[in-house]
Amino acid sequence: MPGTTASAATHETRETPISAPVILAVSTVIFALRPNETGPATVWIPLVRRIREPFEGLWAIPGGALRADEDLASAARRTLEETSGLTPRYLEQLYAFGSVDRAPGTRVVSIVYWALVRSEEAAKATESENVRWFSTDELPTLAFDHNEIVAYALWRLRTKMEYSRIAHAFLGDTFTLAQLREVHEAVLQRPLDPANFRRMIEASKTVVDTGQRVTGTRHRPPRLYRYDSSIDLADVGPLSSI
Amino acid sequence: MPGTTASAATHETRETPISAPVILAVSTVIFALRPNETGPATVWIPLVRRIREPFEGLWAIPGGALRADEDLASAARRTLEETSGLTPRYLEQLYAFGSVDRAPGTRVVSIVYWALVRSEEAAKATESENVRWFSTDELPTLAFDHNEIVAYALWRLRTKMEYSRIAHAFLGDTFTLAQLREVHEAVLQRPLDPANFRRMIEASKTVVDTGQRVTGTRHRPPRLYRYDSSIDLADVGPLSSI
DNA sequence: GCAAAAGTGTTATTCTTACACCCATGA
DNA sequence: TCATGGGTGTAAGAATAACACTTTTGC
């Protein structure tokens, strides 16, 4: 950073700046829910197969080099769109990974984002020989340090799901409370009390009743809710304005 | 990131990779407490004066270019030591700032860390014409987007202070509960009930009674505690192992 | 009517908060 | 003995969690 140069110059013998062969990349862990044939829905992520060394043939999270004229989040959105054709409903920076030895031969610093996409959109997303969806609890060995990155992203998703209201990013414009609860249950991997969940959501004031109901079920028709967009999805402090 | 290149090549016409003129820097917001002449202690940070354009003459948070052979946290520690002579008791990555227009003329992505240093150590830290400590509630206009960065770092410090046990990083090896409470009060900027604070800390099991007491006060001698290093400072999930 | 999920009510438990009050020391 | 902060006790209120029970639909 700029402040750096000045301070270093002030306090130490200035070394010839190594025109650092550091490559800056932006990658994204993309989460979607997939309804499971047996049992509840689970969390899935799309991965891309490496077609060159290092780690040729292994799967990796999608990403790409940062272009000079785009913001970090823009780069995340772009590479996300390029690989999977998806548009995220939620996107947040996860962490910058920069261990010296994380990429054999080269020095790569990856600024990683995590994203949530709608289940319905994920279902029709691009999938090919080199792009495939994986269940997060059945991941193969990934390229680089991507297993650790996914593990951390999953931890953040679960942690944030408990104190924030991001679950509806997996859903369509309107949804029932049961659907919203299924999202929480899939991410947290434990059943939630429907009664208490209802009160918890109502207390948060993040959803509004559309007045509509879902008919055709063989039980009492549930209300349809819409997310109240006047309230921020997640609390990121003063960062939201930057 | 590596995974990127493969995926991009798979799905779109490969453009000549722009050998991006993106500069990668690492900076750190360094927090210390300063006892105030009147009233309680407050949060201070060291800043360095810019000695060249852009923003020449303005104050900025310390940092420096990332070297090819050092980790991100190592770079933060190094630049921190170079500018202030300080060794942090706590260091955590804050955020990667990468807006296209944040540095006039060039494209700089800053990976920012935040650090806590002991008050006693901060007192004897290097200070000069171009390095000075500022109270966080009386900051001037800083270079680049550093005002926003400091605001975000402060938000993180306060948020983390409420659910994590990082306060003792401001203190020496042993401390009284009153000192620990003063740290919380200074950061959170509100008084805390001594009785409830005591129980909260005892319940957290993060400190152990040394058996010693402080004498010489004109009241009941308080116990001295030590931080229980067998417990992690802060919860960073699976990241601690990376 | 029956099954199934929607939705409401109620209670026990834990956590939080406020504050009264005693304790141990120096002056 | 008094002032001062160290340290303990207690009770009200809020938040959490468990679960009984009523409602509304399709079959």
Q: What is the mean pLDDT of residues B40-52?
A: 95
A6/B60 touch (CB, cutoff 8 Å), yes or no: yes
Q: Looking at beta carbons, which residues of chain A come within 8 Å of B151?
A: 238
Q: What residues does A34 pair with on adjacent strands? A: A42
What pLDDT is recorded for position B124?
A: 85
Beta pairing, strands B22-34 & B107-116: parallel
Give the separation between CA A149 and CA A100, rounded to whole angstroms. Answer: 16
The whole-angstrom distance between residue A213's C-alpha and the CA centroid of its chain comes to 30
Q: What residues does A175 pair with on adjacent strands? A: A225
Give the separation between CA B113 and CA B107, rounded to whole angstroms. Answer: 19
Q: Helices marked H in chain B — which ranges?
A: 2-11, 72-84, 119-123, 146-163, 177-188, 194-204
Give the separation between CA B206 and CA B190, rounded to whole angstroms. Answer: 22
What is the CA A49 to C1' D25 distance in angstroms? 48
What is the CA B81 to C1' D6 distance in angstroms? 38
DSSP A220: S
Query: Which domains can be identified in chain B, with CATH numbers?
Result: 21-162 (3.90.79.10), 165-237 (1.10.10.10)
Q: What is the mean pLDDT of residues B149-155?
A: 98
State pLDDT tens for residues B159-209: 999 999 999 999 999 999 999 999 999 999 999 999 999 999 999 999 999
In the numeric block, which tokens belong to residue B182?
């003063």
State pLDDT tens for residues B63-121: 999 999 999 999 999 999 998 899 999 999 999 999 999 999 899 999 999 999 999 89
Residues of B (77-106) whose Cβ lies below 8 Å from A: 79, 82-83, 93, 95-100, 103
Q: What is the mean pLDDT of residues B11-26?
A: 60
**Given B47, B148, B237, which is nearest A155 (Cβ)?**
B237
Written as tens digits, the pLDDT of chain A (242 aa) is: 444 443 333 333 334 444 447 999 999 999 999 988 778 899 999 999 999 989 999 999 999 999 999 999 999 999 999 989 999 999 999 999 999 999 998 999 999 999 999 999 998 888 899 999 999 999 999 999 999 999 999 999 999 999 999 999 999 999 999 999 999 999 999 999 999 999 999 999 999 999 999 999 999 999 999 999 776 656 667 777 65
**B219 CB-to-strand D distance under 7 Å:** yes
Give the separation between CA B13 and CA A88, rounded to whole angstroms. Answer: 23
Of B242 and A237, the one with more pLDDT: A237
What pLDDT is recorded for position B239?
A: 76
Residues of A (209-228) whose Cβ lies below 8 Å from B: none
What pLDDT is recorded for position A201?
A: 97
Query: Any chain B CB within 8 A of the CB of A162?
Result: no
Of B238 and A160, the one with more pLDDT: A160
Q: Looking at beta carbons, which residues of chain B come within 8 Å of A65?
A: 4-5, 17-18, 20
Q: Which of A103-107, B3-7, B8-12, B71-75 has the highest mean pLDDT?
A: B71-75
Backbone angles phi and psi of B197, in degrees to 5: -60, -45
B128/A159 touch (CB, cutoff 8 Å), yes or no: no
| CA dist list (Å): B203 to B112, B121, B199, B232 | 33, 29, 6, 15
Q: Looking at beta carbons, which residues of chain B come within 8 Å of A103?
A: 2
Give the separation between CA B5 and CA A52, rounded to whole angstroms. Answer: 9
What pLDDT is recorded for position B234?
A: 61
Q: What is the largest CA-CA distance in chain A?
A: 78
What amino acid occupies position A74?
Answer: S
Residue by residue, DSSP assigns A145-214 as THHHHHHHHHHHHHHHHHHS--GGGGS-SEE-HHHHHHHHHHHHTS---HHHHHHHHHHHT-EEEEEEE-
Residues of B (10-69) whose Cβ lies below 8 Å from A: 10-12, 17-18, 20-22, 24-27, 47-52, 54-55, 60-69
Its sign, for the CA torsion A178, A182, A183, A189, is positive
Point out the residue nearest to C18 (C-alpha to C1'): B193
> Confidence band (pLDDT; 50, 70, 90) for B39?
confident
Query: Any chain B CB within 8 A of the CB of A108?
Result: yes
What pLDDT is recorded for position B233?
A: 56
Q: Helices marked H in B17-127 — which ranges?
A: 72-84, 119-123
**B217 CB-to-strand C distance under 7 Å:** yes
Residue by residue, DSSP assigns A46-76 as EEEE--SSSSTTSEE--EEEPPTTS-HHHHH
**B198 CB-to-strand D distance under 7 Å:** yes
**Given A17, A21, A63, which is nearest B1 (Cβ)?**
A63
Task: Answer whether A68's CB lies under 8 Å from A98's CB.
Answer: no
A10/B48 touch (CB, cutoff 8 Å), yes or no: yes
Give the separation between CA B204 and CA B229, rounded to whole angstroms. Answer: 13
> Confidence band (pLDDT; 50, 70, 90) for B38?
confident
Q: What is the mean pLDDT of residues B212-217?
A: 93
Report the C-alpha dihedral over residues B147, B151, B156, B159, rounded to 10 degrees: 170
